[in-house]
């Protein structure tokens, strides 16, 4: 599921097996952390002057030209030769340093020293720009991470410790890097041997074609840009308050085929809301006004809901006495009138009989001067952006949207219909919720991955059973850090849409880079077979493609906020 294992791998070494100059962890970043490497610029400048001098002296003074070209190769690429030697000692035989070293030396041997000099200068110039671009991406994301809250920092530390399973794309890149380079080297050796025998070319021309092929052998553009793209995608999502703990989660989210919401943990507004007022002796708005005055000094969730529903002015001077039994109710004197407001047990314990108006649902009863006056019913209300989020998620063909809840079937159906969810599972305890998630994932899901959305504290088992667990309660607990694959800091369900779109956007850029790099290398290969590709063009194409792929990776930063349809 992951394009690289973790953020830390991208910061320290891209998280792949490539040992090319930009990719190696031991490699000194050309871009440093502040700008271009001044020493490398001077080296390339001197090497370029020597190369040009060698071109001008090639005809009248070939020996001088040869010396100038060799000197240009050594000044521009001595570190490349050193890395190639070090990699041979480490048994890393198939890396770009070794390829460039072979090309440079072989160019001198076959009498094309100027080609070898141009190859080394262009290669190092490309590495310079490429390293600078990579370093800048790292700086931007590191700065973004540092700007987040301490709670976010806890998640990021967990990400750095994460070493999750490789995903599909990462597995592809790993196998590709291991097979591609040695395969191309074998083909290059075959071309060097077969061309003079079959195509009747000169030995020098056969070797030259083999060298061109070797230049394009390292899959640097792919193995750099793929993890960098995912790293940028994680950074872009972080700007929107969405924290992917690994690229594995991002890769799976891009393939979301089902979204399962826990009602209380994801869809329901945590605040109680007044959903109905039933009055026995007066108008409903009058009863609500009396209840609001009775609740004036209470800070209980029910009292806050009553005052929010009233939305009028509460005249504190009318309240002459106030007594509260926490969790049960209040006894208040309002403008000389005795008012009781509380649970059934609270009012009946004080001699008030609601008669047949008793409910098992969440409500409070009101009495005035010892006589029952009515009740106020509370209920679950969806978060403001739930309906819009469900609508957008449903646009994807064959994607399942489901809700699980411990509520009764009637309550579950009413709530699900109000937000546009057609599939719901009621009367589910903790084990029942896990069973539903597993059933949808194993039997009902046609393709893609299952994304579960809830609260990490109460839904940890469901998150473990799903392909991707999304916590909407931010980094408020160790459970969120431990259980969730994705953490939404502000708790908005619409951020689930943003997370999926960010993941799909990142995957799209990864595929673009892979297709572009392989396609361009194929073109160079065909030109080489036709004998129409000089060494300098092969190097320019190789480093140019890598640089363009890196720059294209930056587009993954551009994660847009979700625009929900108007209801």
**Catalytic sites, residue numbers:** 262
Backbone angles phi, psi at 335, to 5 degrees: 55, 40
Q: What's the DSSP call for residue 371?
A: E
> Could you give the dihedral angle defined by the CA atoms of residues 312, 315, 318 and 323, in that order, rounded to the nearest 10 degrees?
80
Secondary structure (3-state) at 459:
helix
Give the separation between CA 416 and CA 397, rounded to whole angstroms. Answer: 20
Residue 531, Cβ density class (10 Å: 0-12 exposed, 13-18 middle, ≥19 buried): middle
DSSP assignment of 189-250 = HHHHHHIIIII---HHHHHHHHHHHHHT-S-HHHHHHHHHHHHHHHHHHHHTTEEES-HHHH
Q: How far is CA 309 from CA 106, 273, 401, in A?
A: 84, 7, 31
Contact yes or no for 478/374 (Cβ under 8 A):
no
Give the separation between CA 302 and CA 271, rounded to whole angstroms. Answer: 9
Q: How far is CA 19 from the centre of its chain?
A: 26
**Which structure tokens are listed for 504?**
């799909």
Secondary structure (3-state) at 268:
strand
Give the separation between CA 239 and CA 502, rounded to whole angstroms. Answer: 11
Give the separation between CA 465 and CA 480, rounded to whole angstroms. Answer: 15
């Amino acid at each position: 599921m992951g394009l690289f294992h973790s953020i830390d791998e991208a910061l320290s070494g891209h998280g792949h097996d490539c040992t090319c100059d930009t990719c190696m962890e031991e490699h000194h970043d050309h871009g440093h952390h502040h700008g271009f490497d001044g020493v490398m610029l001077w080296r390339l400048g001197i090497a370029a002057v020597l190369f040009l001098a060698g071109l001008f002296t090639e005809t009248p003074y070939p020996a001088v030209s040869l010396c100038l070209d060799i000197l240009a190769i050594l000044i521009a690429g001595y570190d490349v030769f050193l890395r190639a030697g070090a990699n041979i000692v480490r048994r890393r035989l198939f890396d770009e340093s070794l390829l460039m070293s072979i090309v440079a030396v072989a160019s001198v041997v076959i009498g094309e020293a100027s080609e070898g000099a141009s190859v080394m200068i262009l290669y190092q110039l490309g590495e310079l720009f490429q390293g600078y671009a990579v370093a800048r991406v790292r700086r931007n994301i590191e700065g973004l991470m540092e700007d987040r809250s301490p709670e976010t920092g806890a998640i990021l530390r967990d990400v750095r410790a994460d070493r999750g399973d490789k995903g599909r794309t990462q597995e592809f890149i790993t196998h590709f890097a291991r097979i591609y380079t040695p395969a191309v080297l074998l083909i290059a050796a075959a071309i060097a041997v077969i061309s003079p025998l079959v195509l009747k070319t000169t030995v020098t021309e056969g070797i030259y074609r083999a060298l061109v092929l070797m230049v394009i052998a390292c899959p640097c553009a792919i193995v750099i840009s793929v993890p960098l793209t995912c790293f940028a995608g994680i950074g872009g999502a972080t700007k929107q308050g969405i924290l992917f703990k690994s690229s594995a989660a991002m890769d799976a989210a891009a393939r979301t085929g089902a979204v399962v919401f826990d009602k209380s943990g994801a869809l329901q507004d945590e605040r109680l809301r007044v959903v109905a007022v039933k009055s026995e002796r007066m108008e409903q708005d009058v009863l609500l006004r009396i209840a609001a005055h009775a609740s004036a000094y209470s800070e209980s969730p029910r009292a806050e809901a009553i005052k929010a529903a009233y939305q009028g002015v509460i005249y504190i001077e009318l309240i002459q006495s106030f007594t509260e039994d926490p969790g049960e109710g209040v006894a208040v004197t309002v403008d000389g009138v005795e008012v009781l407001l509380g649970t059934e047990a609270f009012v009946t314990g004080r001699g008030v009989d609601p008669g047949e108006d008793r409910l098992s649902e969440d409500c409070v009863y009101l009495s005035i001067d010892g006589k029952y006056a009515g009740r106020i019913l509370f209920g679950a209300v969806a978060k403001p952006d739930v309906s819009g989020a469900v609508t957008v998620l449903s646009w994807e063909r064959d994607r399942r949207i489901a809700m699980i809840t411990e509520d009764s079937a009637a309550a579950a159906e009413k709530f699900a219909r109000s937000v546009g969810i057609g599939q719901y599972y009621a009367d589910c305890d903790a084990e029942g919720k896990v069973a539903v998630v597993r059933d949808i994932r194993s039997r009902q899901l046609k393709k893609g991955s299952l994304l579960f959305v809830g609260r990490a504290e109460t839904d940890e088992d469901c998150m473990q059973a799903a392909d991707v667990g999304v916590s909407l309660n931010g980094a408020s607990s160790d459970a969120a850090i431990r259980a969730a694959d994705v953490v939404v800091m502000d708790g908005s369900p619409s951020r689930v849409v943003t997370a999926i779109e960010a993941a799909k956007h990142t995957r799209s850029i990864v595929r673009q880079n892979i297709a572009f790099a392989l396609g361009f290398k194929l073109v160079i290969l065909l030109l080489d077979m036709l004998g129409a590709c000089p060494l300098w063009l092969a190097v320019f194409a190789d480093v140019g493609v890598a640089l363009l792929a890196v720059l294209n990776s930056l587009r993954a930063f551009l994660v847009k906020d979700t625009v929900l349809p108007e209801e």
